Amino acid sequence: MASEVDVDLRDRAEAWLADDPDPASRAELRELIDRLPATTAELRDRFAGPLTFGTAGLRGPLRAGPNGMNLAVVTQAAAGLVAWLAAQSGEGPLIIGYDARHGSREFAERTARVATGAGREALLMPRTLPTPVLAYAVRALNAVAGVMVTASHNPPQDNGYKVYLGAQLGGPAGDGAQIVPPADAGIEAAIRAVGSLSAVPLGDAGTVLDTDFSDGYVETAASVLTEGGPRELTIAYTPLHGVGGETLEKAFRKAGFADPAIVADQRQPDPEFPTVHFPNPEEPGAMDHLLALAEANGADLAIANDPDADRCAVAIPTSAGWRPLRGDELGVLLADHLIRRGVAGTYATTIVSSSLLGRICAARGVPYAETLTGFKWIVRAAEELAFGYEEALGYCVAPAMVRDKDGITAALTVAELAARLKAEGRTLADRLDELAAEFGVHATDQLSVRVDDLAEIGLAMGRARQNPPATLLGSPVTEIADLLPENDVLTFRTATTRVVIRPSGTEPKLKAYLEVVEPVAEGDLETARTTAAAALLTLRGEIAAILGV
């Protein structure tokens, strides 16, 4: 005899199935229901709760049921979003973009029909385009909001739904930026208030924007660089099976660079990401094809975008082979370059990024700001923002153009710097050496623990709070900062060490960000770097023990 739990689960699944507008999802769910009780665990997971709308929007696995990305969940999310926009008296069109992941175009088109059904103008991107193009569109077309259907660098089985606000609801610093509280809670409440999906009115397909719009992004991106500067550079590039390739090629050509050599088997968008284990340039092995191409072509620079092209990874040639730059290294190189170019405004990063940017800004006499993690906070650090970055390969080099991370303008800017240095007989590695000699070696690393059970993250954070370290690397801990209850972030500091621990906002991971600062004595960079690297390795072990992972 079926238990009450099984009966309740079956009833909820049947009710969802009856309201699901997608025949494929209905068939998927019907098969699971008919196989009960063998599928109890799977159905419980799918009905454990709705996929929650937060400051990163929605993100989850493509599957039927409320705890997944599917047409029913997207219809509900779109209906809640347009209802919230109306309740805020938001005026203007809703712009919708999408990447090449499974379901992205379908989800974008459904969002447009929900918007027009509610009486709001919907503007749909003409094809798969990078996330920065959508963020640019929100500002350029004075939209009330924008939706980007993407899961960025998540695995192939995922998709997502990001929301940007225009100037009216986002304010000057949030014009074209991702949402922040309380907008996320307001939209989530509006989503939960949506009744039967069959009662959600669907309008026409909206207006498909013409290709001139993306050309406008390319024109503006190229104008970010100093006109007439050096452009002699050999570049290898990969869009990592994503949607950035065509737009980046056009932008580089417009800026005066030679076409980059592109990894052939990663050039075209492919939602399966067949040549990489994980479509994130931070992951080990993800840039192997790129580095092989760079070596074969004698490139000066190797550049990778993540699949939606809002992140940028860079590798440089060394005597020991190609070396990917850490996110902090590229961040300070870009910031230093823009400062030297005289780009005025505030330079911002996050509490988990290297402290080096703050030291550079203090020495150069430019405004500096530090925020919580996430570009939604970085771009709101100051209305007159000049530059922002986060260590996870996110860079905003042109806030007046894109108020978000933008892997294409970041790629252009680092190419400009590399070309200028090459014209002077120097390299990016040389510039990093100069910064280290001036400010000390700021060595950073990350301890990242992926979990199957999210409860493990809470337990580990609890262990660190209950038994904080008295010393790190043999030096007394001078500061313990706990940002609870507002934010689940814990920081330990010594005179030369900083550790920031927090759960990931987008993945089932616990992250510890490590930094060691080692002075450079008598210009001996090699010894300082060796000492700092050894200290980081020891620090990783100490933090792993504290977290119990």
> Which three-class secondary structure state does DSSP give residue 43?
helix
CA distances from 463 to 223, 473, 541 (A): 50, 19, 15
Q: Is 302 exposed, middle or buried (0-12, 13-18, 19+ CB in 10 A)?
A: buried
Measure the N-to-C terminal CA separation of the chain; round to a whole number of Å.
42
Q: Is 204 left (phi over 0), alpha (psi -120 to 50) or beta?
A: beta
Report whether 476 contacts 492 (CB < 8 A): no
Count of all residues that appear for the chain in the document: 549
Tokens encoding 255: 């800026």
Please pick, among 104, 152, 214, 353, the residue that the annotation labels catalytic.
152
Residues 472 and 340: beta-carbon distance below 8 Å: no
Pure H helices in 271-374: 288-297, 327-341, 356-364
Q: Which two tokens stand for residue 441?
A: 């070696």
Considering only the C-alpha atoms of the chain, give the largest distance between any 2 of them, rounded to a whole number of Å: 80
The Cα–Cα gap between 500 and 196 comes to 44
Active site residue 152: yes
From residue 205, alpha-carbon distances to 99, 109, 117, 143, 166 in Å are 18, 7, 9, 17, 22
Q: Which residues are catalytic?
A: 152
